[in-house]
A and B are shown apart, each in its own frame.
Chain A
Amino acid sequence: MALIHETDYGTPSRVAETLVTLEIDGKPVTVPAGTSVMRAAVVAGVQVPKLCATDSVEAFGSCRLCLVEIEGRRGTPASCTLPAEPGMKVRTSSSKLSKLRRGMMELYISDHPLDCLTCGANGNCELQDMAGVVGLREVRYGYDGANHFKENVKDNSNPYFSFEPAKCILCSRCVRACEEVQGTFALTIDGRGFASTVSAGGKPFLESECVSCGACVQACPTATLIEKSVLAKGQGEHTVITTCAYCGVGCSFKAEMQGSEVVRMVPHKDGKANHGHSCVKGRFSWGYATHKDRILKPMVRAKITDPWREVTWEEAINHTASEFKRIQAKYGRDSIGGITSSRCTNEETYVMQKLVRAAFGNNNTDTCARVCHSPTGYGLKTTFGTSAGTQDFDSVEHADVIMIIGANPTDAHPVFASQMKRRLREGARLIILDPRRIDLVKSPHVQAEYHLPLKPGTNVAMINALAHVIVTEGLLAEEYIHERCDLPAFELWRKFVAEERNSPEATEAFTGVPAADVRGAARLYATGGNGAIYYGLGVTEHSQGSTMVMGMANLAMATGNIGKVGVGVNPLRGQNNVQGSCDMGSFPHEYSGYRHVSDDSTRHLFESAWGVSLQSEPGLRINNMIDAAMEGTFKGLYIQGEDIAQSDPNTQHITAGLSAIECVVVQDLFLNETAMYAHVFFPGASFLEKDGTFTNAERRISRVRKAVAPMAGLGDWEVTQALSNAMGYPMHYNHPSEIMAEIARLTPTFSGVTYEKIDELGSIQWPCNEKAPEGTPVMHIGGFVRGKGKFIITEFVPTDERTTGRFPLILTTGRILTQYNVGAQTARTENNVWHPEDILEIHPLDAENRGINEGDLVSLTSRAGDTTLKARISERMQPGVVYTTFHHMFTGANVVTTEFADWATGCPEYKVTAVQVALAKKMSAWQEHYHETRRITTQIAK
Chain B
Amino acid sequence: MVHMANQIALNFAAYPHEEAVANVTNHLKSFWERRMKQQLHEYVAKGGGGLHELVIEAEKRLK
Chain A residues near B (Cβ < 8 Å)? 334, 363-364, 492, 496, 543-544, 547, 588-589, 596, 598, 617-621, 624, 628, 633, 793, 795, 797, 800, 901, 903-905
Contact = CB atoms under 8 A, between A and B. Distances in A.
Given A624-B36, A795-B14, A904-B11, A589 B31 contact: yes
Given A596-B30, A795-B11, 17 more contacts: A334-B34, A363-B33, A492-B15, A547-B11, A588-B33, A598-B30, A617-B33, A621-B33, A793-B14, A795-B10, A795-B14, A797-B7, A901-B4, A903-B8, A904-B8, A904-B27, A904-B31
Given A620-B33, A628-B35, A903-B7, A496 B14 contact: yes
A902 to B, nearest CB: 9
B63 to A, nearest CB: 14
B15 A793 contact: yes
Nearest to B33: A620
B34 A544 contact: no
A247 B62 CA distance: 40
Contacts of B10: 795, 797, 903
B13 interface: yes
A624 B36 CA distance: 8
Q: What 9 A-B pairs are tightest by C-beta distance, nearest first?
A: A903-B7, A795-B14, A797-B10, A793-B14, A620-B33, A903-B11, A617-B34, A903-B8, A619-B33
B16 to A, nearest CB: 8
Nearest to A795: B14
Contact of A618 (B11, B14, B15, B30): B30
B3 A800 contact: yes
B15 to A, nearest CB: 6
A618 B4 contact: no
Nearest to B19: A492
B43 interface: no
Contacts of A617: 33-34
Contacts of B36: 624
A334 B7 contact: no
Contacts of B30: 589, 596, 598, 618
12 contacts: A334-B33, A543-B7, A547-B11, A589-B30, A589-B31, A624-B36, A628-B35, A793-B14, A903-B7, A903-B11, A904-B11, A905-B31
Interface in B13-44: 13-15, 27, 29-36
Contacts of A334: 33-35
Interface residues of B, number: 18
B32 A618 contact: yes
A543 B31 CA distance: 16
Interface of B: 3-4, 7-8, 10-11, 13-15, 27, 29-36
A642 B58 CA distance: 35
A598 B32 CA distance: 12
Contacts of A633: 35
Contact of A903 (B4, B34, B35): B4
B33 A544 contact: no
A901 B1 CA distance: 12
Nearest to B11: A903
Contacts of A364: 33
A617 B33 CA distance: 7
Contact of B33 (A543, A547, A624, A793): A624
A698 to B, nearest CB: 27
Contacts of A598: 29-30
Most B C-beta atoms less than 10 A away, residue of A363, A628, A795? A795
Contacts of A547: 11
A621 B30 CA distance: 12
Nearest to B29: A598
Nearest to A588: B33
A492 B23 CA distance: 15
A547 B30 CA distance: 17
B61 to A, nearest CB: 15
B62 to A, nearest CB: 11
Contacts of A543: 7
Contacts of B13: 795
A543 B33 CA distance: 20
A797 B13 CA distance: 10
Contacts of B8: 903-904
A588 B36 CA distance: 14
Nearest to A900: B3
A114 B31 CA distance: 69
A619 B33 CA distance: 5
Contacts of B27: 904
Contacts of A363: 33
Contacts of A496: 14
A795 B35 CA distance: 29
A100 B36 CA distance: 81
A492 B32 CA distance: 28
B51 to A, nearest CB: 15
B44 to A, nearest CB: 18
A793 B15 CA distance: 7
Nearest to A590: B30
A797 B35 contact: no
A483 to B, nearest CB: 24
Nearest to B10: A797
A103 B27 CA distance: 76
B26 to A, nearest CB: 11
Which of B11, B30, B35 has the largest count of A CB atoms less than 10 A from its CB?
B11
Nearest to B9: A903
A363 B32 CA distance: 11
Contacts of A795: 10-11, 13-14
A783 to B, nearest CB: 24
A618 B37 CA distance: 11
A801 to B, nearest CB: 11
B35 A618 contact: no
A793 B20 CA distance: 11
A334 B34 CA distance: 10
Nearest to A543: B7
A620 B31 CA distance: 9
Among A496, A617, A619, A628, chain B packs the most CB atoms within 10 A around the CB of A617
A619 B32 CA distance: 7
A908 to B, nearest CB: 13
Nearest to B27: A904
